[in-house]
Amino acid sequence: MQSDRGESGPSQDIYITEDVRSYILERKRDFRVSTSCSGPILLPTSVKPPKATDLRVPVEGYTVYISKYQARYIDSIHRGMIPIFFEDF
């Protein structure tokens, strides 16, 4: 999936797995991949608001914002990035 880096330089392809796409569409909200103690984590933007420097990946009318620090190291957004306590919300 092509993403918009929001800065000069080449764009980066970051794939969002189908289960995470479904997760986003079921919850009908934007999310952000940010840094946590245990690595990248996917949180609703109501919990972790996006920053102007974030990379943006569209998902059918919603946006996944990716911290510029995490974007350097990930090539996919997968279910392992969803905190267990958010799975049932």
Sequential pLDDT tens for the chain (89 residues): 444 434 433 346 899 999 999 999 999 999 999 988 888 999 999 999 999 999 999 999 999 999 998 899 999 999 999 987 655 54
d(CA 64, CA 58): 6
Whole-prediction pTM: 0.80
- Judging by beta carbons within 10 Å of its beta carbon (0-12, 13-18, 19+), is residue 77 exposed, middle or buried? buried
**CATH architecture assignment, domain 15-81:** Sandwich (2.60)
